[in-house]
Structure 1
Amino acid sequence: MTPADISRAPSGDGCVCDRDAGRLLDVTAAVARAEALCVAVGGVETVPLAEAAGRIAAAAIATPYPMPGFDHAAMDGYALSSHALTSGSVAGASGPWVLPVTGVAAAGGPAPAADGTRPHAVRILTGAALPAGFDRVVAQEDCTSTDGRITLRRDPAIGAHIRRAGEDAPAGTVILAAGTRIDARHIALLAIAGHAAVPVLPRLRVAVMTLGDELVPPGQPLGPGRIHDSNRPMLLALLTGPSTILTDLGAIPDQAAAVRDAIAAAAGRFDLILSTGGASVGDRDHLKPAFVAAGGVIDSWGVAIKPGRPVMLGRIGGSAFLGLPGNPAAAFLGHELFATAMLRRLSGQSGGVPPTGHAGHVSGTALTHRPGRTEYLPARPEYLPARTGGIDPAGRPVLRIMGPSSAARLMPLAGATGFAVVDAAAGDIRPGDPVGWLPFSCLSSGLQGARS
C-alpha cells in the first residue's frame, strides 16, 4: 500500500479517509508520511557554548587553526634530537647514551631554546611544546636521571611520544556539521577550537493534550470509573529538552465541541501538536471529526502496528499534528515511532533508527503472532555468555521479552530498554528466531527545556 492510497480529507464536515478505515498503512510508510508533514523550522539564534548542549547546529563550524596547534609531548620525559644520539661526544650508535639536561619545557609556556653547541636533552612535561630541532621524547621511566644527566639504553625513534600539530584536525576542518544535535563531544571540540558561541536553530514549539472524561490529574482523588492521567506527564517528560518549548494544553473532555475548540485554539501556534486519546472509532472518539471541523486536513489514519493502531496524522494552521492512542503503552510506542521522526525533521535532521528496528537480534521467547501488523514487545538484550543462553550459536544477542505488547500495561515498559519488533508478515516466533531491535529513543536528554 502506497501513500497515494490514502485520500486527503478536505477542510469540512466529513473525513474522506473514513471510507478507508479498514486499510492500514505499514509502519515504514506511516513514518515517512509523518516526516513529510514537517518542514524544518527556519531561523538562527546564537547561544553561549555553555547553553548549546541539546540544541541543533544551524550552520557548519570549522576550526580556525590546527588541532593541536603545535607539536607537544604526549608524556613526561626528555626531549631528544637525532643529532644528540649520533654525535661522537656520546656513546656509540647502539647506546647507551649519556646526555646533559639543559632546561625544562612545561605546558603553558614557551619551549626553551636549543643549545646547538653540544648534544643535550631537555626535560619535558606532558603538553609542553617541543623545542625546535628536537624530534622524539623518551619516557622518564625509560631512562635514568642522575646529577643533571640522563642515561638511556634504547633509542625511542623519531616521533616517539609526540603529538603533532594538526594530527587531530588541520585548520579549516569542519568540526560540527549543520543539523547536528550538539552533545558533550561537540562541546569539547568547539571549546578547544576557541568557539565561545554557537549558531543554533530556534527551539521547537510543541503542545500536548489528552482527551477523555475519565482522566484525573495525579494527586487528585478518583471517582467511579476515573483514572489518573499518565499519558500527558509521560509525553511531556519524553519531549522535555533544551531544543523544545513545551505547552501543556491539559485534559480535554469527551465533547466534540470541546475537542474542536481546543484544536482550533492551538492551530498555528506550535510546530507540532500531540494529542492522545479519542483517536479510535468509538461513540466518544471525537478527534477525527473535531479536527476536520477545526479546519485541519487529515493526511492518514490507522497504522498496521500492535499496539497502537489508531494513529492520526495531519496538519492544521501551519502546525503538524499527531494523534496517538489513549492507552499509555501505545502512546509511548507512538511517540518513539512518529513523534521522534517528526521532531527530527522539524529540526532539520534525518536518519534515526528504522521503525522496524536493527537486525541481528533473536527472540529468547516463543511468541504467538498473527500476520498483518508489525508487533512491538518491551524487551532488553541479554548480553550473557553462550552457555547461559544469552547469545545464540551465531553470536547474536538474545532479547528478553518483558511482557506482551499490551496497549495498556506499563510495567513491562519500565523494565525494558527498547522494543523487540516482529515483522508484519511473520507467523509465530520460536526462541532463536530473528526479530528487530528498536532501542528507546534519546530525545529526552535529561536536560530541562522551557515549558509554558
Structure 2
Amino acid sequence: MTGFQSFLTVDWSAASTRGPTRPKKDAIWLGIVRNGEPAEPEYCRDRHSAEARIASIIREEQAAGRRLLVGFDFPFGYPRGFARRVTGSDDPLDLWDWFEARITDHPDSTNNRFDIAEEMNAIFEGAGPFWGKSHKDRWPGIPYRKEGIRYDVVSERRSCDLKSGASSSCFQLFYNPTVGSQILMGLPVLARLRRLAGVAVWPFTDWQEAPVVLAEIWPGLIEPAVRTALATAPAGSIRDAVQVTALSRALSALGAPELQAMLEEYPDEACEEAWILGAGHAARLSELAATDRDVPPLRNDCFALPPGVHWTPVDEALDHLKRNLTPVTPVRRVPVGEATGRITAAGVLAARANPPLPNTAVDGYGFAGGLPEGLHRLPLATGRAAAGDAPGVLTPGHALRVLTGAALPAGIDTVVLQEDVRITDGHVVLHGPVKAGANTRKAGEDIKAGAQVLAGGLRIGPAEAALLAATGTREVQVHDPLRVAVLSTGAELVEAGETAADGQIFDANRPMLLELIRRCDHTGVDMGRVGDNRAELRARLDEASRRADVILTSGGASAGDEDHVSALLQETGTMQLWRIAVKPGRPLALGMWNGVPVFGLPGNPVAAMVCALIFARPALSVMAGGRWSGPQGFMVPAAFSKKKKSGRTEYLRARIRDGAAEVFASEGSGRISGLSWAEGLVELPPGAATITPGVQVRYIPFSGFGL
C-alpha cells in the first residue's frame, strides 16, 4: 500500500452538555489535509454528529481513492494489565467492546461515564484507580482527589505517556486535563468506526495495507508550533481549531518513508497499551507544523483600509499593518552555531540547567553549612575542586580548596574567600559568622532545565547565542532571512557615477534603502532602476517576485500620469493607495504582485526614508518572523521654534546638542543633506502645537529604529 494522501486529526471532548451553534473552545474539532492542502477546521457540537461526520469523511476518502490516516487525541489503551483485570483478556479491542456495551451517550451529551468508572474501580482493591468527579457527594466508589490511590497493580501512566512527556493520566476523570473521561467517551466510538469497511487500528490490527488507519496522536508534540501560531493568528482564533490543522499538516509534510518509520517504531507493550504516533519525534513534527504554518500567502486584502477612510492617521495605519501582516519566510531547524542573526520561529527550551551543578563563585575553601561567631578550625581535605573537575564527595566536618567555577563536591554548600582564612597545621582557620550558602551558585539559578530560554520572534544576537550554548541547545527552529527587493522608478534617474544630462538626477533612494535593509538584518535584493516604461516595470516586478519575499519601490506611487507602480498594482486588483496624514510622505501604494507584498514608497528621498522607517521597517520585521517593533524614543526639550497646524503627524530631521533637540534649518523634502546632518527625528503629534525652546518633544534617534 502506498503512503497516505489524506490526514484527519480529531480533538475529542467528554463534555456532558451539547455545544452551542457558534464554534467554541474545548469542543470537538476536525482538521483535515488532502494532498497537502488543508481544509477549514470543522466544529462538531456533540459526539453523535462528530462520529457521523468522521464516518462520512472515511467513506469520502475511500471513494476518492485517497488513503486516510485518522488521529484521535485520547489514549487507545490503558497501562499493561488493566484490560485483563476488567475483561479477562489482554486484547485492548475487547476492552473497546466492553465500553461500547456499557457506555450510554444521549443526544444532549449526558452520559453515564462516572457510573462505569465506579464499576471498574470496584474490580480493584483499595481506592481508585479512577479518580476525580463532578459532584463530591455522588459515586462514592470514585475518590474526589487522587490522594491515597496506589498504582501498584497497574501503572498510573503508559510507556508512551512517559516517552512523549505527557503529564495526564488515563485514570483522571475530572479537572483538566480530563483524559480519563475522553477515553471512556471515545473508545465506544472507535469500536464502531473500526467495523467500517477498510478500517484498521494502529498498532492493534494489520494496518500496513489498510485504506484507512486509526491512530492515537497527542497535540502536545507540536506545542511550540501551536503557541507561535496562536501568537500570530487573528484575534478570537480557537486553539483547538489551530492545533488540529497544524498537526494534520505536520503529518502530511512527513515523507512516506519517514512516516512509515514512525508507524513501525513502537515497543512490545504498545500492542496492549497503544502508542502515540510520533512519540520521541516532537521536535520534527513541531518543525513541520511551524514550517507549513509560517509560510502562508498574505491575503490579497491585507492592506485594505476600512471604507470611507481618506486621510489615515499614522497610528491607524500602523495598527492596520500590525493586525494584518504575518510571517512570509520559511522555517527550518539549524545548528545553534548557525543561528546567530536569525529569528526564532518558536520558543526554545533549555536542554540543560545553567549552571548545571552547584558551583563556587570565588577562590576559597568550601565546607558544609554556615558557621556561628567565633574562631573555627576545620581539617583540610587533600586535593582541590577546580573548574571542569567532576564533583567528588567531601568528608563531613572537613574543608576543601575550591577554585572559581568549580562544581561543588557533595558535602559542600558554603565557600569562604581565601583572603579570609589561614592555613595552619593542615587546618583551615577562620572567623565566623559565615552564612550558609555564601559565595556559591545554585544549580539552575539562572535557567532551569526545561524552562523557556528564548521566546519565538526574537532575533538571536551575541547574548542570545551565549544563552543557547550555555543551556545545551543543539538546534534552533528559525526563519530564513527576509529577502527584500529594492527597485527605483522614474525616467529622470541615472546611476550614481554616470553622466547626468540636464533634467536628470542621480538615484539616491536605492542605495539608501538597501543600506537600511542591511542594517535591519534583512537580505537586500538590488533590482536596479526602471524608467517610465510600464512593460519594463512589469517584467522587473515579475523578476523581483521570484527573487524576494517583499518588494520596496520608490517613485510612481501616487495617482499621476507617470505613476506606473500604482497603475500596475491597480491592474492586478490588489492595490491600495494610502493617503496618510504624515509629513513628509503621504502617499503609499501597497499591494500584492504574484503573491508578494509590495510597498510603494514616495520618490522624494526624504519622504522615502521617513516612510520606510515609520511604516516599512516594523512591517518587514513581522514578515521576517519577528515582532512588531515601534521606534524607541524619549522626551527632550526643544531647541527650536515652530507653529504646527492640526491634521498631520510630522517628522523633523533632528539631533541632540547640549541636551536639547535642534532641527534642520529647512523642512524641504528635497534637502537630502538634512538626512546626513540629522541623528534622528522629532515626532510631532497630529494636533496643532506651538513649539518654543524648552517645550518637551519626542525625539527618536536613528538607533531607536534599530539603525
Q: Does residue 1:205 correspond to 2:483, yes or no? A: yes
Q: Assess if the C-alpha contact under 8 Å between 2:639 and 2:662 holds in 1.
A: yes
- CA 1:69 to 1:218, structure 2 compared with 1: closer, same or farther past 3 Å? same
Distance 2:307 2:529 in 1: 33
Q: Assess if the C-alpha contact under 8 Å between 1:271 and 1:318 holds in 2.
A: no
* Match in the other structure for 1:108: 388
3-state SS of paired residue (2:643): coil
3-state SS of paired residue (1:31): helix
Distance 2:328 2:573 in 1: 20
Q: Does residue 1:65 correspond to 2:327, yes or no? A: no
User: By how many angstroms is 1:200 displaced?
Assistant: 0.7
* Match in the other structure for 1:375: 650
3-state SS of paired residue (1:237): helix
User: By how many angstroms is 1:240 displaced?
Assistant: 2.3
Match of 1:237 among 504, 515, 518: 515
3-state SS of paired residue (1:251): strand
Q: Assess if the C-alpha contact under 8 Å between 2:329 and 2:623 holds in 1.
A: no
3-state SS of paired residue (1:82): coil
User: By how many angstroms is 1:3 displaced?
Assistant: 3.1
* Match in the other structure for 1:423: 685
3-state SS of paired residue (1:275): strand
Q: Deviation string for 1:286-308 (max 9, x for gaps)? A: 33223323x25222332111111
Segment of structure 1 superposing worse, 257-266 or 168-177: 257-266
Q: Assess if the C-alpha contact under 8 Å between 2:638 and 2:694 holds in 1.
A: yes
Q: Does residue 1:305 correspond to 2:607, yes or no? A: no
- Residue 61 of structure 1 aligns with an amino acid whose one-letter code is V
- Residue 133 of structure 1 aligns with an amino acid whose one-letter code is G
Distance 1:227 1:42 in 2: 35
User: By how many angstroms is 1:323 displaced?
Assistant: 0.8
- CA 1:65 to 1:264, structure 2 compared with 1: closer, same or farther past 3 Å? closer
Distance 1:60 1:100 in 2: 49
Gaps of 5+ in 2: 1-303
Q: Assess if the C-alpha contact under 8 Å between 2:384 and 2:400 holds in 1.
A: yes
User: By how many angstroms is 1:26 displaced?
Assistant: 1.1
Q: Counterparts of 1:151-170 in structure 2 under 5 Å? A: 151-170=429-448
Segment of structure 1 superposing worse, 123-132 or 273-282: 273-282
Distance 1:404 1:98 in 2: 78
* Match in the other structure for 1:135: 413
- CA 1:408 to 1:49, structure 2 compared with 1: closer, same or farther past 3 Å? farther
User: By how many angstroms is 1:72 displaced?
Assistant: 0.4
Match of 1:339 among 598, 609, 616: 616
Q: Does residue 1:81 correspond to 2:358, yes or no? A: no
- CA 1:49 to 1:140, structure 2 compared with 1: closer, same or farther past 3 Å? same
- CA 1:35 to 1:211, structure 2 compared with 1: closer, same or farther past 3 Å? farther
- Residue 700 of structure 2 aligns with an amino acid whose one-letter code is L
Distance 1:323 1:58 in 2: 28
Q: Deviation string for 1:107-130 (max 9, x for gaps)? A: 1002343123xx432111011111
User: By how many angstroms is 1:62 displaced?
Assistant: 0.5
Q: Which has the higher contact order (CA 8 A, sep 6+)?
A: 1
Distance 1:6 1:168 in 2: 53
- Residue 549 of structure 2 aligns with an amino acid whose one-letter code is D
- CA 1:136 to 1:403, structure 2 compared with 1: closer, same or farther past 3 Å? farther
* Match in the other structure for 1:15: none
Q: Does residue 1:326 correspond to 2:628, yes or no? A: no
Q: Does residue 1:29 correspond to 2:316, yes or no? A: yes
Structure with the larger helix share: 2
- Residue 306 of structure 2 aligns with an amino acid whose one-letter code is A
Tell me which structure has the larger Cα radius of gyration: 2
Distance 2:641 2:539 in 1: 47
Match of 2:506 among 228, 240, 243: 228
User: By how many angstroms is 1:436 displaced?
Assistant: 2.5
Q: Percent identity?
A: 38
Match of 2:375 among 62, 80, 96: 96
Q: Assess if the C-alpha contact under 8 Å between 1:114 and 1:131 holds in 2.
A: yes
- Residue 356 of structure 2 aligns with an amino acid whose one-letter code is G
- Residue 111 of structure 1 aligns with an amino acid whose one-letter code is P
Distance 1:154 1:365 in 2: 64
Q: Counterparts of 1:428-439 in structure 2 under 5 Å? A: 428-439=690-701
Segment of structure 1 superposing worse, 323-332 or 407-416: 407-416
Q: TM (normalized to structure 1)? A: 0.81
User: By how many angstroms is 1:282 displaced?
Assistant: 4.7
Q: Assess if the C-alpha contact under 8 Å between 2:601 and 2:608 holds in 1.
A: yes
Q: Counterparts of 1:111-122 in structure 2 under 5 Å? A: 111-116=391-396, 119-122=397-400
- Residue 3 of structure 1 aligns with an amino acid whose one-letter code is L
Distance 2:668 2:677 in 1: 14
Q: Deviation string for 1:268-292 (max 9, x for gaps)? A: 6532111011224554333322332
Q: Deviation string for 1:62-112 (max 9, x for gaps)? A: 1123221111001111112238x5xxxxxxx53222334223110100234
Segment of structure 1 superposing worse, 35-44 or 198-207: 35-44
Q: Assess if the C-alpha contact under 8 Å between 2:458 and 2:627 holds in 1.
A: no
Q: Assess if the C-alpha contact under 8 Å between 2:618 and 2:630 holds in 1.
A: no
Q: Assess if the C-alpha contact under 8 Å between 1:179 and 1:349 holds in 2.
A: yes
Distance 1:147 1:214 in 2: 91
3-state SS of paired residue (2:432): coil
Q: Assess if the C-alpha contact under 8 Å between 1:260 and 1:291 holds in 2.
A: no
- CA 1:417 to 1:48, structure 2 compared with 1: closer, same or farther past 3 Å? farther
- Residue 416 of structure 1 aligns with an amino acid whose one-letter code is A
* Match in the other structure for 2:150: none
Q: Deviation string for 1:154-197 (max 9, x for gaps)? A: 33311111000111122210101122221122111110111132
Distance 2:520 2:558 in 1: 33
- Residue 135 of structure 1 aligns with an amino acid whose one-letter code is D
3-state SS of paired residue (1:399): strand
Q: Assess if the C-alpha contact under 8 Å between 2:525 and 2:547 holds in 1.
A: no
Q: TM (normalized to structure 2)? A: 0.53
Distance 1:52 1:114 in 2: 41
Gaps of 5+ in 1: 8-22, 86-92, 385-389, 391-397, 446-452
User: By how many angstroms is 1:359 displaced?
Assistant: 5.5
3-state SS of paired residue (2:674): helix
Q: Assess if the C-alpha contact under 8 Å between 1:306 and 1:374 holds in 2.
A: yes
3-state SS of paired residue (2:610): helix
Distance 1:184 1:35 in 2: 28
Distance 2:502 2:513 in 1: 26
* Match in the other structure for 2:627: 350
